[in-house]
Amino acid sequence: MSEDGEVLIAVSDLTKHYGAIRAVDGISFEVRRGDVLGFLGPNGAGKTTAMKMITGFLEPDRGSIAVAGIDVAADRLAVSRRIGYLPEDAPAYGEMTVEAFLRFIAEARELEAADEAIEAVLGTAHLGSVRGQTIETLSKGYKRRVGLAQALIHDPDVLILDEPTDGLDPNQKAVVQDLISSLSSDRCIVLSTHILDEAERVCNRAVILSEGRILVDSTPEDLVSQAPGHNAVRFRVTEGDAEEVAARLAEAEWCASARVLPSDVVEVEPRDGENRLNDVLAAIGEHRVADVRVREGRLDELFRDVTRGVAA
């Protein structure tokens, strides 16, 4: 999270209802140049609705959005020139070739050096080999990159990407994630995902949304350290009594729990999420152990913890 970059998106008290359902419920946040903000949340949490309002496609019921200092409600056209947007499922005109599609986008954006912009973005998104193919014949991974290419063609300050890797296979996912990472310097990116590993890989800031509200606004590293079971140590006692080791560990004041699992495996969870491997090894003493592992916190467990509280 960058503290001193220029504020490129400022959202205040944003609210949107669909009939009786509150899709987005009074959220406020700022995104600065250099930020890669991950919108995390279960389906229906309001991620897509919030993004559609930032791009000006949907009008909010209440609240305000400024992109690069321009009020979206007052001047959507000016805002749209500063934003690159990849809508959910990367819609594109299937009957057009990749190149013709990008040419249309360049023309709609009134780019002066359209040819150069198209060539540059074909390179960035690795689309050179399929430039003459119609979009409907491309694989999902390529289609997604076409969507990214159109969002990037005018080199925008603000990129809004709605589930950029959803539905892709692991290889395609990695390609798209690398591409997003390579874009992150010197602009701001807001992307939504429900894949938590992706937030860890790509984002430097994570916002968890549920039922239209912001529950957590932090960095992925912070979230990981808050996750239950972060830095838990697990080992197998090969010589000696596992029960005795567990009992000895449980007495330590930093220890949240120590239990014996099947085949003499002991699992110790620290109270504060700090790495206590040395303390654990000291407590083992004369016993002999094998297969020592320190576990990283899992975002999905935290995610489930946090969002369950709201749903209940």
Partner 1 sequence: MSGLARRFTGFRAVLRREFHGYFASPLGYIFIVIFLIASGYLMVSRDFGRFLELREANLDALFSYLPWIFVVLVPAVAMRLWAEERRSGTVELLLTLPITLEGSYLGKFLAGWAFLAVSVFLTWPAVFQVARLGDPDWGAIFASYVATLLAAAVLLAIGLLFSALSKNQVVAFILAVAASVGFLLIGVPQTQEFVGKWFGGYVERVVSSLSLLDHFEALTRGLLQLNSLLFFVLFTVGWLVCGMLVLGQTKTN
Cβ distance to partner 1 smaller for residue 83 or 283 = 83
Please report how close the Cβ of residue 77 comes to partner 1 at its closest, in angstroms. Answer: 5
Torsional class of 119: left (φ above 0), alpha (ψ -120 to 50), beta (otherwise): alpha
77, 132, 251, 278: which one contacts partner 1 (CB under 8 A)?
77
Please report how close the Cβ of residue 134 comes to partner 1 at its closest, in angstroms. Answer: 9
Number of residues in contact with partner 1 under rule CB under 8 A: 26
Which window, 52-60, 172-180, 222-230, 285-293, contacts partner 1 (CB under 8 A)? Answer: 52-60
92, 227, 283, 306: which one contacts partner 1 (CB under 8 A)?
92
**How far apart (Å, rounded) are the C-alpha atoms in residues 210 and 2?**
24
Binding letters toward partner 1, positions 112-151, x by CB under 8 A: --------------------------------------x-
For residue 60, give the 3-state DSSP assignment: coil
Burial class (CB in 10 A: 0-12, 13-18, 19+), 285: exposed
For residue 195, give the 3-state DSSP assignment: coil
User: Please, which residues bridge with residue 287 across strands?
Assistant: none
Work out whether 104 is an interface residue with partner 1 (CB under 8 A).
Answer: yes
Which window, 1-9, 54-62, 273-281, 294-302, contacts partner 1 (CB under 8 A)? Answer: 54-62
The distance from CA 32 to its chain's CA centroid, rounded to whole angstroms, is 16
User: Are the C-beta atoms of residues 54 and 67 closer than 8 Å to each other?
Assistant: yes
Which window, 92-100, 118-126, 198-206, 248-256, contacts partner 1 (CB under 8 A)? Answer: 92-100
**How far apart (Å, rounded) are the C-alpha atoms in residues 307 and 305?**
6
Tokens for 76, please give them. 């959507």
Work out whether 89 is an interface residue with partner 1 (CB under 8 A).
Answer: yes
**How far apart (Å, rounded) are the C-alpha atoms in residues 39 and 157?**
18
Burial class (CB in 10 A: 0-12, 13-18, 19+), 61: middle
Which residues between 257 and 276 bind partner 1 (CB under 8 A)? none
CB-based contacts of 124: which residues, under 8 Å, 6+ apart? 149, 152, 179, 182, 183
Please name the amino acid found at residue 114.
Answer: A
Cβ distance to partner 1 smaller for residue 58 or 215 = 58
Work out whether 244 is an interface residue with partner 1 (CB under 8 A).
Answer: no
User: Are the C-beta atoms of residues 229 and 216 closer than 8 Å to each other?
Assistant: no
Which window, 78-86, 122-130, 247-255, 275-283, contacts partner 1 (CB under 8 A)? Answer: 78-86
For residue 32, give the 3-state DSSP assignment: strand
35, 37, 55, 258: which one contacts partner 1 (CB under 8 A)?
55
Cβ distance to partner 1 smaller for residue 95 or 274 = 95
8, 34, 47, 85: which one contacts partner 1 (CB under 8 A)?
85
First to last CA, the chain: 31
Cβ distance to partner 1 smaller for residue 96 or 260 = 96
Residues that bind partner 1 (CB under 8 A): 52, 55-58, 77, 80-81, 83, 85, 87-89, 91-96, 104-105, 107-110, 150
